[in-house]
Structure 1
Amino acid sequence: MSMHYVMEILPSLFQGAGMTLKLFFWTLLGSLPLGILVSLGLTSKFRPLQWLLELYVWLMRGTPLLLQLIFVFYGLPIVGIVFQRYDAALFAFILNYGAYFAEIFRGGFQSIDQGQYEAARVLRLSYGQTLRKIVIPQVVKIVIPSIGNEVINLVKDSSLVYVIGLGDLLRAGNVATARDVTLVPLLLVGLIYLILIGICTFILNKVEKRYSYFK
């Protein structure tokens, strides 16, 4: 493995990594709020809404993300709904991870003692203030380990976008491997994934320490 060859293929790998990070960032930005909203709906007393959201979570968690990507990009155009490759990937990822985050947050919300809601009403806090100032900070502390696992899975799951021809990190490595008949690009891809996951783990540990005062 010559350093000259490594430097030659790194730009294309970094370009693929940029697409991976872009998908990762916007998926988190969309799926976390979606998960919180869906979890609140799952714990609501309005049964039709609860049933509808349970169906959504069941479908997203019960079918492979790869199948969902294929359905969004190749299946929806049959009924006139057409996405560009990146938009299709982002849409499928947000829906999928939103469902997983919803279940995680639902468990967090249900772990909060009802007495805290009653105390908030005594203090004349609105429902929104109760969630924002009392409940959500505690829920975040509770769900951080589970959220962290999903965040790490998201880094790796981003490689699935190859199925719709999106130029992510793994696709860039596969192209270089097939062209040059060497496993060096894939070894570099693995190294880059390890670095990305290491960074995510470091940040998550910092966030967990930030919320440790809720112990």
Structure 2
Amino acid sequence: MNYIQFVQKFFPFFLQGMAVTVEVTVCGLLLGLVLGVIAALMNISRLPVLSWIGWIYTWVIRGTPLLVQILIIYDGLPQVGIQLSPFVSGILALGINSGAYIAEIVRAGIQSIDPGQMEAAESLGMRYGLAMRRIIFPQAYRRLLPPLVNEFVALLKDSSLVSVMSLTELLRQGQMIASATFKPMQTYITAALFYLFMTSVIVFISRYIERRLEVRS
């Protein structure tokens, strides 16, 4: 069996794995966006308690390996009576991990806006939350797009780590195919090409959006 025949035979299995990878990554990213925005707002909060909690979250998650976090959630939580499926565990682990990095991205984007604009908004009687929504965020989101895309790409590749939970995403499918066919070289090259395809699509879409934003600005 040559490489073309190998790909033709196992393409549906790789495609199934890719679908699971995309699903768990997108869900993890959405969770990470929610957690990241909350943590970023806590980090820049004027309340010391909130700022401290946000800092602890980003410090702990960014300072520990994602694989360890996955194992704590999937293998550790059942010890305290919390049993989660591999899919939910994967989303939770990826979301919590991504949230810490997104928090720093959002924090940096918000703080890159001239502080005088917030002061001007407050002098006009705007509350802090309203000023953030109407003044700060509309200016910051264009600066956030490139680093957020980088985080999405990194998260997509990091999703391969959830294969340790036997979740049949792309890498796990590849591992099963390699075990059944004894062709690890062909298998993992094919898996790498699938990852390359997915990341390239993300980068292409993000560049298109960036160009559209530049035209409108």
Unaligned runs of 5+ in 1: none
2:15 matches 1:38:
no
2:206 paired residue among 186, 197, 204? 204
1:214, CA displacement in angstroms?
8.6
Overall identity of the aligned pairs, in %? 36
Counterpart of 1:200, as a letter, is: I
What is the rounded CA distance, in whole Å, between the counterparts of 2:132 and 2:213 in structure 1?
16
1:64-95 deviation per Cα after TM superposition (whole angstroms, max 9, x unaligned): 00000000010111111221111111111111
Mapped contact 1:9–1:185 kept (Cα < 8 A): no
Q: Please give the residue correspondences for 1:123-134 in structure 2 after superposition, counting only pairs within 5 Å.
A: 123-134=124-135
What is the rounded CA distance, in whole Å, between the counterparts of 1:212 and 1:115 in structure 2?
24
State the match for 1:59 in structure 2. Answer: 60
Q: How many residues align?
A: 215
Bigger Cα displacement from structure 2, 197-206 vs 140-149: 140-149
Bigger Cα displacement from structure 2, 202-211 vs 83-92: 202-211
State the match for 2:20 in structure 1. Answer: 19
1:50, CA displacement in angstroms?
1.2
Mapped contact 1:101–1:147 kept (Cα < 8 A): yes
Counterpart of 1:110, as a letter, is: Q
State the match for 1:117 in structure 2. Answer: 118
1:93-133 deviation per Cα after TM superposition (whole angstroms, max 9, x unaligned): 11110011001111111111122113323554443332223
1:46, CA displacement in angstroms?
0.9
Counterpart of 1:192, as a letter, is: F
Mapped contact 2:17–2:168 kept (Cα < 8 A): yes
State the match for 1:191 in structure 2. Answer: 193
Bigger Cα displacement from structure 2, 197-206 vs 131-140: 131-140
State the match for 2:137 in structure 1. Answer: 136
Bigger Cα displacement from structure 2, 202-211 vs 49-58: 202-211
Mapped contact 1:24–1:155 kept (Cα < 8 A): yes
Mapped contact 2:37–2:103 kept (Cα < 8 A): yes
**Structure 1 stretches of 4+ moved >6 Å:** none
TM-score after normalising by structure 1: 0.93
Q: Please give the residue correspondences for 1:143-182 in structure 2 after superposition, counting only pairs within 5 Å.
A: 143-182=144-183
2:71 matches 1:79:
no
1:209, CA displacement in angstroms?
2.4
1:48, CA displacement in angstroms?
1.3
What is the rounded CA distance, in whole Å, between the counterparts of 1:120 and 1:16 in structure 2?
49
Report the secondary structure of 1:184's partner residue.
helix
Mapped contact 1:112–1:135 kept (Cα < 8 A): yes
TM-score after normalising by structure 2: 0.92
Mapped contact 2:29–2:94 kept (Cα < 8 A): no
Report the secondary structure of 1:211's partner residue.
helix
